[in-house]
Chain A
Amino acid sequence: MEQKLISISVDGKKIEVDPGMNLIDACALAGASVPSLCFMKDISANASCGVCVVEVEGAKALVRSCVQKPVEGMKIRTAGPRVMSARRTAVELLLANHPTDCLSCIRSGTCELRVLAETLGVRASRYPKLKKFPPPDTSTEGLVRDDSKCILCGRCVAACAETQSVHAIAFAGRGARTRVTSFMDKGLANSPCIQCGQCSVVCPTAAITEKDQSSEVMAALADPRLTMIIQTAPAIRASLGEALGMPPGSLVTGKMVAALRRLGFAKIFDTQFSADLTIMEEGTEFIQRVQTGGTLPMITSCSPGWINFIETFYPELLSHLSSCKSPQQMFGAVAKTFYAQKTGIDPASLRVVSIMPCTAKKGEAGRPEMDSAYRWWREKAEKDGTKMSREHYRDVDWAITTRELARMIRQSAIDMASLPEENFDSSLGESTGAATIFGNTGGVMEAALRTVYEILEGKALPQTDFLPVRGLQGIKTAEVPVAGMKVKVAVAHGLKNARVLLDDIAAGKSDYHFIEVMACPGGCIGGGGQPVLPDIGKKLARNRSLYMEDLRLPERKSHQNAEVSALYKEFLGQPAGHLSHELLHTKYKARIV
């Protein structure tokens, strides 16, 4: 679309701008950076805080630049005593009711409010404390909401409604009682919240954060009775560096392994190993569905936020979900059976920690059905007539986010940037490029296509890359000729996009065979447990770095993973075989809220 440019002046500098843009962006074009707080580009602009005010010549009142559009000939002043004092007042009003917890606050290092108060030179608030707050909402496994730190910017409400179409939270009440809350103030656990954590990555303060378990993990590391092993999700290697102050997109695979070793984990394994395993299972399941007339389209099942979503909003479509557990859960089940047996470690003293880009993974690890290893050992003990300790354990003991791991590394004074590159341990540490791209939207689909093609065609792919399913477009589609069939695939990330595909299935209008859904925008690289306040540039940098890793790895197709082949040979038998079903597959059920 042709847009006629208009000319404005910012602090005396004349520039030409698009009349559709916000004044705050126009000022940035002119080199003047106007501070803002409630505003977040592409997420929310409810103009509630008043921090972004600028002076416009001829206008009586100051103007909120995050929502105002430029007008031909507008003369703007972005600094000066009048705007300065208004900005300070705006922040003082927010601080009046805010706890002075910065010293011990989980967001201290990344808090927009703290930084703003500091840059504006706000030392104290002149205003009285008027509000009372309920205790924090700790009802879910993944997240904590603390109203006392909420500045009512509305970003979380927008992320939940616009990005995810979940609407778990909204503003309620008015005046001093205004708050962000769920229906009847019953807490997130009693709302449709799917634990995706998108609210927690956009929140400028510590009002909504992951439920931090890093100190529990540190305590377990100090317990000599336990064997602590760790798995790292694909997306972590593209974001952990960023969380520790390196440039966005820094690829830190080897340094991350080195840091985890220094933290004291006995073995450093890779969720990418079980991502390759997932492809073997899911690829086989897909082929079986196509050949035996099973339910199509088949939809991927590795994103627990997405699983919560379909169980809540589209329970009638559950038969479309692949029965495969997520790579995190496959790893836990294999570690506590195959690996424990092979090494002679008592599975009851083995602890599996996973590093995930995701807050919903915490809830997934805690699902009651995710204790396959325990059930497997119990059955075995019954069969062999041997005794087994009564202590119940789950497949994955702790799922902690990128942010929590970064915290552990910082607390331990490990300078990750200066560490050498080290390798994962065997025999759950090998992976292929197909597994690494799981972290990007479209990656699971591409990985599955690479393997399904070669299994069905019995020959090497002419071209390993499937470009149409890459990139950050909301919905991507492709048609791939495989063994005389045109396989129609679709990829959606962000649940508002997924709804479009689901509504078509529900209406009987979907002719896709295979669909990938990731709850978070961008896939796991944009997950709810990733470094906070990402913009599109940071997400693209993380996205690119995973495709780089794909090219770097010696093998790029899941069926070429030698450790996975060994696992089938020594333990599981066939993909989608009996033992696989017991350990690697699961069932879903409708969730009523």
Chain B
Amino acid sequence: MPTTLSSQSSPGIEAIIQKHKGTSGALLKVLENVQEEDPKHYLSESSMRSISSLMGLPLSQVYSMATFYSFFNLKPQGRHSIVVCRGTACHTRGSLALLNEALSRMGIKEFKEEEENSATSLDGFASIRTVACFGQCALAPVVMIDGVVKSRMTIGKLVSLLEKMKKGGVE
């Protein structure tokens, strides 16, 4: 298989690959685990290169899978995560304003919604991403903050949640 550059994080990745060896859908599980264990919660070029060479799979195939599922991140993620639903129900109830508020509070200037689905603040504090629908349209608009779904969101509520986040934790 392709000659690849070596990468830093091979030992951890090797263990993950060992764990899933021979199971069906091994590549998908390996990618998930590697992302979970990555401090920046993403699939770096070098970890995908390691996965490719250790599993004997072409780089193009690893990339194919990593770009197919929206839960894989190909860019380093912030320490906090803000997910804004941009589905139809949420959109009609003002999710664009929520997205813009979150972006400006985090100091993210460039975000082209048609082209990418996430952006991270320069200081690595938080990542903002959009999804097509949380499946909770009755509670629209919906935002997820550090893994916790917050429904019937308003600008006011969002601002105070983000303020709390900045002071350390929203729980």
CB distance from B28 to the nearest CB of A (A): 14
Q: Complex formed: what's the CA distance from A181 to B48 in Å?
A: 16
Q: Is the CB of B67 within 8 A of A172?
A: yes
Contacts of A455 in B (CB 8 A): none
Q: Complex formed: what's the CA distance from A312 to B4 in Å?
A: 10
How many residues of A sit at the interface, in one of the four size bands? 20 to 34
- Pick from B53-61, B81-89, B136-144, B152-160 the stretch touching chain A: B53-61
Nearest residue, chain B, Cβ from A179: B67
Residues 172-216 of A contacting B (Cβ, < 8 Å): 172-174, 181-184, 191-192
Contacts of A315 in B (CB 8 A): 3
Q: Is the CB of A183 within 8 A of B63?
A: yes
Contacts of B45 in A (CB 8 A): 184
CB distance from B31 to the nearest CB of A (A): 14
Contacts of B115 in A (CB 8 A): 132
How many residues of B sit at the interface, in one of the four size bands? 10 to 19
Query: Does B2 count as interface, using CB distance less than 8 angstroms?
Result: yes
Q: Is the CB of A183 within 8 A of B68?
A: no
Q: Complex formed: what's the CA distance from A31 to B104 in Å?
A: 65
Nearest residue, chain A, Cβ from B74: A184
Q: Is the CB of A173 within 8 A of B68?
A: yes
Query: Does A590 count as interface, using CB distance less than 8 angstroms?
Result: yes
Type the 1/0 row for B58-81, where 1 means its CB is closer than 8 Å to any CB of A: 111111100110100000000000
Q: Is the CB of A168 within 8 A of B114?
A: no
Q: Is the CB of A593 within 8 A of B67?
A: no
Type the 1/0 row for B1-18, where 1 means its CB is closer than 8 Å to any CB of A: 111110000000000000
Q: Complex formed: what's the CA distance from A181 to B63 in Å?
A: 9
Type the 1/0 row for B39-56, where 1 means its CB is closer than 8 Å to any CB of A: 000000100100000000
Instruction: Tell me whether A132 and B60 are in contact in the complex, defined as CB-CB below 8 angstroms, given that A172-B67, A313-B3 are known contacts.
Output: no
Q: Complex formed: what's the CA distance from A174 to B3 in Å?
A: 27
Nearest residue, chain A, Cβ from B69: A174
CB distance from A314 to the nearest CB of B (A): 9
Instruction: Tell me whether A590 and B67 are in contact in the complex, defined as CB-CB below 8 angstroms, given that A168-B60, A169-B60, A183-B59 are known contacts.
Output: no
Type the 1/0 row for A153-179, where 1 means its CB is closer than 8 Å to any CB of B: 000000001000001111111100000
Name, among A181, A184, A592, A593, the residue most crowded by chain B CB atoms within 10 Å (CB to CB).
A184
Selected contact of A170 from candidates B2, B58, B114, CB within 8 Å: B58
Q: Is the CB of B5 within 8 A of A170?
A: no
Instruction: Tell me whether A593 and B3 are in contact in the complex, defined as CB-CB below 8 angstroms, given that A132-B114, A169-B60, A183-B60 are known contacts.
Output: yes
Contacts of A191 in B (CB 8 A): 59-60
CB distance from A283 to the nearest CB of B (A): 32
Selected contact of B63 from candidates A184, A312, A313, A593, CB within 8 Å: A184
Contacts of A593 in B (CB 8 A): 2-4
Nearest residue, chain B, Cβ from A185: B63
Given A171-B64, A313-B1, 13 additional A-B pairs, CB 8 A: A132-B115, A161-B58, A167-B2, A167-B58, A170-B58, A170-B60, A172-B67, A174-B68, A182-B60, A313-B3, A590-B3, A592-B5, A593-B3
Hey, which bits of chain B sit against chain A, CB under 8 A? 1-5, 45, 48, 58-64, 67-68, 70, 114-115
Hey, which bits of chain A sit against chain B, CB under 8 A? 132, 161, 167-174, 181-184, 191-192, 312-313, 315, 590-593
